[in-house]
Amino acid sequence: MNLDIKLHNEDLPDQLVLSDKIAIDCEFMGLNVERDSLCLVQISTGNNDAHIIKLNRETYHAPNLKKVLQDKKINKIFHYARADLLFIKKYLKVEVDNINCTKIMSKLARSYSDKHGLKDLIKEFTGNDINKNLQTSDFGGELTEKQLVYCAKDVVYLHKIFLNLEKILIREKRDKLYYDTIKFINSRVNLDLASFNTDIWSH
């Protein structure tokens, strides 16, 4: 696959036109939102392209990116939106609506499997084996070519995975359940931000 990777410093360029359905992923310094900052945001329009924005971690000044994130007309596909949105809310301080999450879709659609990682979904729906070894690398400094390719691969397959999962959800009559469930995503993230991390519905 030929990837069209563009690295942007601090923000998306002015006048860049994306599509009305974009895939988004983020890289952080670690998994603790209080301690670890948001380093990168990657966006794909679904045409083997990846815009990788290396954020200014002092200011988080990125008006073009924030405008895209806040645009309710743009549908945003994440894989595990819960984590990405937690860091986006904390560091970019924007509200994001019109969200899909392929991990939640997979849990509802693929009840024949207990593997809902991005690597598993890429394998099942595209046949590609991706290497997640760089998942735990340092995204805070200068990025290597390998890191850029790794980051790009986290977004370029999401459109295809979304379409495949949506097909299963519709076939199995679980699409309404999914679309009802995903409405809760911002509440789930707000609960996380308020340190209610466990399942509040459990006994």
Q: Which residues bind Mn ion (CB under 5 A)?
A: 25, 154
**Least distance (Å) between residue 181 CB and Mn ion:** 23
CB of 179 vs Mn ion, minimal distance in Å: 25
Taking the C-alpha atoms of residue 100 and residue 21, their distance in angstroms, rounded to an integer, is: 10
Which residue's structure tokens are 């995903």? 182
Grouping H, G, I as helix, E, B as strand and the rest as coil, residue 106 is helix
Residue (25 or 49) nearer to Mn ion, CB:
25
Q: From the CB of 5, what's the least distance to Mn ion, in Å?
A: 14
Torsion, Cα 165 171 172 178, to 10 degrees, reads: 50
Q: Which is nearer to Mn ion, 5 or 169 (CB)?
A: 5
* Closer Cβ to Mn ion, 50 or 165, answer by number: 50
CA-based nearest residue to 185, from 43, 76, 93? 76
- To Mn ion, the closest distance from the beta carbon of 131 in angstroms equals 12
Spatial separation of the C-alpha atoms in residues 130 and 88, rounded to whole Å = 25
CB-closest chain residue to Mn ion? 154
Cβ proximity to Mn ion: between 90 and 174 the closer is: 90
